[in-house]
Amino acid sequence: MRNTTFILLLILVAGAVFGIARLINNAYVFFAGYVVLQYVVLATAWNILGGYTGYVNFGIAAFFAMGAYTTVVLHKIAPMPLPLMMLIGGGVSGVIGLGTGYLTLRLRGTYFAIATLAMAVVVQTLITNWSFVGGSRGAYIVRPAEAPFFAGDYIQYLFLVMLGLSVISVAIARAIEHSRLGYGFAAIRDDEGAAEASGVPTLRLKLIATALSGGFMGMAGAPLPYYVTYLDPASGFSLSYAVNTIAMPLIGGTESWFGPIIGAVLLGTLQQVATVTISSALSLLIVGLLLVAFVIAAPKGILGWFKR
Amino acid sequence: MSFDLLGNALVSGLLIGGFYAAVTIGVSISFGMLDIVNIAHPAFIILGSYIAYIANSTWGVDPILACVVMLPAFHLLGMAIYYVYDVAFERRGDTSIRGLAFFFGLLFITEVVLVLVFGVDYRLVEAPYIGPTLHIGEIDLPLRLLVPCVVSLLLIGLLQLYMSRTFIGRAVQAVAQDPTALRLMAANPSRIKRIAFGLSIATASVAGAFLIIIQPVEPSIGRDYIGRVFAICVMGGLGSFAGSVVAAMILGIVESLTATFYGPSWAPAVAFGFLLITLAARPAGIFGRQ
């Protein structure tokens, strides 16, 4: 399928999703749907680096929270439309990804993974000590009185924004897969030494992947303060973001753009249901167990079941 | 800057460094020697802390003694984990993404189970050496830091002896040097690695006892140690026990100075700075051979 056809189709699907949500017309559908869509973006973003190049990023919470805290800062000094804030938040996270990558990506992949894990702790330390964004007490964010559409229903607006971001991130992830960039990524994943020897600019490609992946995570985090209206470091940097975001592509399948979507929709919905019906701690335990079970028993994820 | 403040910061940094060495030694074995990136190691340390807590609060057993008794159980746990890891990831040659995710999942599962069972309250233990402090001139030596440090150095010394003197210890070093050559000698690296990984998890038990002696423990506290542990391990030169001890002491001192002069909330950032600088400037570690 050509990219333009695919994007049109994707927009149609997104339109249908939004239409159905409007038809059900229940505030909770938008509320829960926002979280699922947020994970579609996060999982797709993670997969650009993790699935395509084979480098594991554990610092999802840091990239995500940097986007969120960029919004907090912007909200305080210069209020502007949300999409613009998301672009800036994504830019900040992308630059952080670039910096971490530049320092550690020349080494073995494990060092990058460890560095991102440690980075999450440090960024949290910085935010906790920064009183302008609330420090450890957290920050309250007052939603704008009027949302641009839907007669001021802000949750619906946030849902639509996240839906748009999902479309963009999925379209880009799929476009990368079948481009020179994607083939370069795959070469790195399969054999980095051989790729380097045949003239693939490995470091540059890895940096592009890290920046893109981090940037999308930041964009996914940017609307968070308006969604929760109260943001503190403990919840913004929660490890559950990292576990979910890693579990979703690995459960869905990392080899193509569709895997993260399957994982995000399945796990995201499952979690929303389990949180309401059982408890949120138990629903996280389910995700952890599923992650371990899938990496051991189904290394190609759900997609692997259909590609025999 | 007052002089006794500096002296106290240095001494408590050294003592905490001794404790960090105990926390790191397991990773020195698993990551440094066996090339297994066990990021779940801190979670097993917390598990050790909670076992010390249970033994201490129900029977009044000394936390270190309780965890020494638990060593064989942790050894078995480690061997079981390595067995799964070996079959599912190492033999498939799939350690980089899925192997890492496996340990990440273990870390998370341990944490959530501890939260479900014990809640998120801070737990602590009681032992005769937790309160008192020795004074030497202007310098304070809190026993609650001194005891873990001394026992930790003792254990690392024993482990070093074991690694260099016994048959199995030497076999582990052989695996660390060249698993392929070992296979050519008709020895099975998986079996040796299983024993060694069991050893590395066993050290987590005792390190857990030290941790809960030094500070109150709650389930998510282990995450703070991931950065520290790997920073020390890399800085000390992978797999070198002596290097790890020195690196742990250095990190302990720098963290203690940071906490004293800038505030304790900044201390977690120090380890990451160390890790980044080491990785960027000298990935083989300060004491690395390459």
- Report whether pLDDT(A247) > 80: yes
Please give the pLDDT value at position B222: 84
Residue A92: closest CA among A140, A126, A131, A115:
A126
Please give the pLDDT value at position B1: 58
Contacts of B268 in chain A (CB under 8 A): 121-122, 124-125
For residue A202, being part of any structural domain is answered with: yes
Distance from C-alpha of A40 to C-alpha of B168, rounded to nearest angstrom: 49
* Residue of chain B with shortest Cα separation from A284: B112
Cβ of A296 and B84 within 8 Å?
yes
A88 and A211 both lie in a single domain? yes
Give the other-Cβ count within 10 Å of A127's Cβ.
Answer: 24
Write down the residue that tokens 């399945």 correspond to: A266
Q: What is the torsional sign of CA A28, A29, A32, A34?
A: negative
Cross-strand pairs, B134: B141
Contacts of A128 in chain B (CB under 8 A): 265
Tell me the CA distances in angstroms from A211 to A94, A172, A182, A260, A307, one per residue in order. 4, 14, 15, 19, 31
DSSP string, chain B: --HHHHHHHHHHHHHHHHHHHHHHHHHIIIIIIT----TTHHHHHHHHHHHHHHHHHHH---HHHHHHHTHHHHHHHHHHHHHHHIIIIITTT-IIIIIHHHHHHHHHHHHHHHHHHH-S--B----TTSS-EEEETTEEEEHHHHHHHHHHHHHHHHHHHHHHHSHHHHHHHHHHH-HHHHHHTT--HHHHHHHHHHHHHHHHHHHHHHHHHHS-B-GGGGHHHHHHHHHHHHHT-TT-HHHHHHHHHHHHHHHHHHHHHH-GGGHHHHHHHHHHHHHHH-TT-TT---
Cβ of A243 and B105 within 8 Å?
yes
Domain containing A199 equals: 47-237
Contacts of B88 in chain A (CB under 8 A): 295-297
3-state secondary structure A52-81: HHCCCCCCHHHHHHHHHHHHHHHHHHCCCC
Interface of B with A in 41-80 (CB under 8 A): none
Please give the pLDDT value at position A101: 85
Tell me the nearest-neighbour CA distance from A42 into chain B, angstroms: 16
Tell me the CA distances in angstroms from A200 to A195, B28, B165, one per residue in order. 5, 34, 47
CA angle (A165, A166, A168) in 5-degree steps: 65
Cβ of A295 and B111 within 8 Å?
no
Q: Over chain A, what is the mean pLDDT?
A: 87
The token pair that represents B180 in the structure block: 């392929």
Q: What is the torsional sign of CA B41, B47, B53, B55?
A: negative
Tell me which range, B121-125, B248-252, B271-275, is most confidently predicted by mean pLDDT: B248-252
A77-91, A96-110, B114-128, B235-249: the lowest-pLDDT one? A96-110
Please give the pLDDT value at position B79: 94
What ipTM did this prediction achieve?
0.85
Tell me the nearest-neighbour CA distance from B120 into chain A, angstroms: 11
Q: Does B257 touch chain A (CB under 8 A)?
A: no
What is the count of structural domains for chain A?
2
Question: Tens digits of per-residue pLDDT, A193-214?
Answer: 888 888 888 889 999 999 999 9
For A199, list phi and psi in degrees, rounded to 5.
90, 15
Half-sphere exposure of residue B110: CA atoms within 13 angstroms, side-chain side: 25
Cβ of B279 and A56 within 8 Å?
no
A219 and A287 both lie in a single domain? no
* Residue of chain B with shortest Cα separation from A100: B276
Q: Does A125 touch chain B (CB under 8 A)?
A: yes
Q: What does the pLDDT average to over B100-113?
A: 90
Tell me the nearest-neighbour CA distance from B92 into chain A, angstroms: 10
For residue A216, being part of any structural domain is answered with: yes
Instruction: Check residues A6 and B285 and name the one with the higher pLDDT.
Output: A6
Residue in B227, B234, B266 nearest the CB of A117 = B227
Q: Does A298 touch chain B (CB under 8 A)?
A: no
- Report whether pLDDT(B34) > 70: yes
Split at pLDDT 50, 70, 90, the class of A150 is low
Q: Does A254 touch chain B (CB under 8 A)?
A: yes
Q: Does B276 touch chain A (CB under 8 A)?
A: yes
Please give the pLDDT value at position B47: 94
Cross-strand pairs, B133: B142
A66 and A205 both lie in a single domain? yes
Q: Does B275 touch chain A (CB under 8 A)?
A: yes
Half-sphere exposure of residue B274: CA atoms within 13 angstroms, side-chain side: 28
Q: Does A243 touch chain B (CB under 8 A)?
A: yes
Residue in A54, A281, A288 nearest the CB of B105 = A288
Residue A265: closest CA among A23, A35, A63:
A35
Tell me the nearest-neighbour CA distance from B216 into chain A, angstroms: 19
Q: Does A37 touch chain B (CB under 8 A)?
A: no
Q: Does A111 touch chain B (CB under 8 A)?
A: yes
Cβ of B108 and A239 within 8 Å?
yes
Contacts of A254 in chain B (CB under 8 A): 97
Under 8 Å between Cβ of A78 and A198: no
DSSP 3-state of A264: helix
Q: Is B51 exposed, middle or buried (0-12, 13-18, 19+ CB in 10 A)?
A: buried
Cβ of B108 and A281 within 8 Å?
no
A211 and A62 both lie in a single domain? yes
Write down the residue that tokens 């304790």 correspond to: B264
A68 and A129 both lie in a single domain? yes
Residue A125: closest CA among B271, B287, B210:
B271
A81 and A149 both lie in a single domain? yes
Split at pLDDT 50, 70, 90, the class of B286 is low
Under 8 Å between Cβ of A262 and A302: yes
For residue A151, being part of any structural domain is answered with: yes
Cβ of B280 and A103 within 8 Å?
yes
Half-sphere exposure of residue B173: CA atoms within 13 angstroms, side-chain side: 13
What type of residue is B53?
A: Y
Tell me the nearest-neighbour CA distance from A225 into chain B, angstroms: 24
Distance from C-alpha of B62 to C-alpha of B58, rounded to nearest angstrom: 11
Split at pLDDT 50, 70, 90, the class of A69 is very high
Cβ of B283 and A115 within 8 Å?
no
- Report whether pLDDT(B43) > 80: yes
Please give the pLDDT value at position A308: 58
- Report whether pLDDT(A88) > 80: yes
Contacts of A98 in chain B (CB under 8 A): none
Please give the pLDDT value at position A28: 85
Q: What does the pLDDT average to over A146-154?
A: 70
A65 and A140 both lie in a single domain? yes
Instruction: Check residues B204 and A100 and name the one with the higher pLDDT.
Output: B204
What is the radius of gyration, based on Cα positions, of chain B? 19
A vs B, Cβ pairs < 8 A, gives: 130
- Report whether pLDDT(A108) > 90: no
Q: What does the pLDDT average to over A240-261?
A: 90
What type of residue is A8?
A: L
Q: What does the pLDDT average to over B224-247?
A: 85
Distance from C-alpha of A112 to C-alpha of B46, rounded to nearest angstrom: 25
Q: What does the pLDDT average to over B214-226?
A: 86
Residue A260: closest CA among A61, A41, A49, A94:
A41
For residue B191, what are the contacts with CB-CB under 8 A and spacing of at least 6? none
Residue A163: closest CA among A71, A273, A30, A266:
A30
Distance from C-alpha of A70 to C-alpha of A88, rounded to nearest angstrom: 7
A209 and A275 both lie in a single domain? no
Q: Is A203 exposed, middle or buried (0-12, 13-18, 19+ CB in 10 A)?
A: middle
Tell me the nearest-neighbour CA distance from B189 into chain A, angstroms: 21
Under 8 Å between Cβ of A245 and A42: yes
* Residue to test with chain A: of B86, B100, B120, most A Cβ within 10 A: B100
A237, A252, A269 — which closes off a domain? Answer: A237
- Report whether pLDDT(A119) > 60: yes
Split at pLDDT 50, 70, 90, the class of B290 is very low
Cβ of B105 and A295 within 8 Å?
yes
A52 and A77 both lie in a single domain? yes
A214, A237, A260 — which closes off a domain? Answer: A237
DSSP 3-state of A194: helix
- Report whether pLDDT(B289) > 60: no
A187, A220, A237 — which closes off a domain? Answer: A237
Q: Is A149 exposed, middle or buried (0-12, 13-18, 19+ CB in 10 A)?
A: exposed
Please give the pLDDT value at position A278: 82
Please give the pLDDT value at position A99: 87
Please give the pLDDT value at position B161: 93
Cβ of A118 and B272 within 8 Å?
yes
Domain-wise residue ranges, chain B: 3-281
Q: Is B254 exposed, middle or buried (0-12, 13-18, 19+ CB in 10 A)?
A: middle
For residue A2, being part of any structural domain is answered with: no
- Report whether pLDDT(B282) > 50: yes
End-to-end CA gap in chain A? 22
Please give the pLDDT value at position A47: 93
- Report whether pLDDT(A151) > 70: no
Contacts of A282 in chain B (CB under 8 A): 116
Residue A210: closest CA among A19, A45, A22, A36:
A45
